[in-house]
Amino acid sequence: MNRALAGAAAAILLPAGLVAIFTAGPAGATSGPTPVAPAAEAASPEMLAAMQRDLGLTATAARARIASDDAASRTQLALRKRLGASFAGAWLAPDAKSLVVAVTDSAKAAEVSAAGATPRVVSRSDDQLDRIKEGLDAAAAKAPSASVPGWYVDVKTNTVVVQARGGTAAARAFVKASGVDAAAVRVVPTTEQPRLLYDVRGGDAYYMGGGRCSVGFSVNGGFVTAGHCGTTGTSTTGFNQVAQGSFQGSSFPGNDYAWVAVNSNWTPQPWVNNYAGGNVTVAGSTVAAIGAAICRSGSTTGWRCGTVQAYNQTVNYAQGSVSGLTRTNACAEPGDSGGSWLSGQQAQGVTSGGSGNCTSGGTTYFQPVNEILSAYGRTLVTSGGGTPPPTDPPTGCTGYEFSVSGSLSSGGSAYQPNNSYYYSSLSGTHRGCLDGPTGTDFDLYLQKWNGSGWTAVAQGTSSAADETVSYSGTAGYYRWRVHAYSGSGSYALGYSNP
């Protein structure tokens, strides 16, 4: 891989709007992409993609922003220590390119400038503002006000902001009663109405009128569960009896599946309650083989395990028959309905019904989750999507210059690196290694920009989860496409190029 040399940066506009940043070497020759600071390299593909989506940044700008933010944070920490009691806060300017540091001692301004930041002299130190805020905290503990949704230290204005809803009179009375210096406080009108936020987690209880069932798996917008738990339009409350959402679709009998859309108080997470004080992270939905170990989570009997005994069973319930169920020898009881079934970290289905109980044992059936996702056009929330950090993806590819990872649902594709591309200024060999989830069929393609579009120049498309690709090519722009032909889960990609 070419290493960029020191020099002036220049933007080169490529066909179809592709943009790359290069650095001119001493002789003026264009070399490879400018190296990115370690902080930017450490960012996950998911974080970079989210920054592009939510902050309106390009992939290059997102990496640059991470690097500059990291540098600003380090400068702030160093100056906080050196400035001591005169430090009054720091913040990035609106362009996010320069750091402003406030001080109460004008003699310290030169020290701020020497560190590469912009000084601003103010009257109150960071410690003084914190003490004012603590005074408001103490007052609220004695006499909270529903008209005052919050307060915070605002270093940019060197004040403490008190928010006021429905007029400012109650907020001003609150400040006066607290005994803090009113001159240091700004009362600001707001329409904010803070509320608690809750996680949607597989296996947890939810309620519908007088009944109780269990969450299956988080999907985009809500969760999937059993159809016999509610009909379309049925309202639900969560494990804490707080309003949660409503059934958007339900099929029973014939099938036994449904999906519930949740309100903004609830966040679908890629977790299943293991009823031992922790969570199992969901990585995909690859179907387990007959005889495989399988465990289920439910709000009545918690975490129970058994083995897969048969697929595609029709079960005749008193309310009607349901086909396409999977048979297991794990136990379950009323209230466990709708709950999660997992094989390792792979989602399998949601509890339908069965016979027996968890004292004497029995047989339990579940509705396969992939059928539910297909029926409602939902996407499983997996460990590729957020916190807590996902378990490490496969790492069978070693000896490559670069490594990236991600997670795909069956049929999905991802483009690496980081939904972007790379440039090779020399002819030579491009090597790629894909390590996919066990039991899946993941494929790997190397694509090259031909002047108007991307063309596959090499591929690994066997029926296995793992692929290797080697291609001898000329200079140009390249990217890797990872495709989940069959099965879901986390993957790792290693690659090297000239």
Phi-psi region of 7 (alpha: psi -120 to 50; beta: other; left: phi over 0): left
> What is d(CA 207, CA 209) in angstroms, rounded to the nearest whole number?
6
The single residue of 68, 204, 228, 490 carrying the catalytic annotation is 228
> 134-143: long-range contacts (C-beta < 8 A, 24 or more apart)?
135/178, 135/179, 135/180, 136/160, 136/162, 136/174, 136/175, 136/178, 136/180, 136/185, 138/178, 139/174, 139/177, 139/178, 139/179, 139/180, 140/174, 143/174, 143/177
130 tagged catalytic: no
105 tagged catalytic: no
The single residue of 256, 435, 443, 466 carrying the catalytic annotation is 256
Q: Position of tokens 């020759």? A: 29
228 tagged catalytic: yes
- DSSP class of residue 196? -
Dump strand ranges (E) for 318-426: 320-328, 340-343, 346-357, 361-368, 402-408, 413-416, 422-424
Strand partners, 241: none
Cβ count near 163 (within 10 Å)? 20
The single residue of 337, 340, 407, 488 carrying the catalytic annotation is 337
SS (H, E, C) 161-190: EEEECCCCHHHHHHHHHHCCCHHHEEEEEC
Quick one: which of 215, 340, 200 has its CA closest to 267? 200
Residues 6+ positions from 17 with CB-CB distance below 8 Å:
none
Q: If you write DSSP's letter for every residue of 400-429 in order, what string do you get?
A: -SEEEEEEE-TT-EEEETTTS-EEE-S-EE
Known catalytic residues? 228, 256, 337
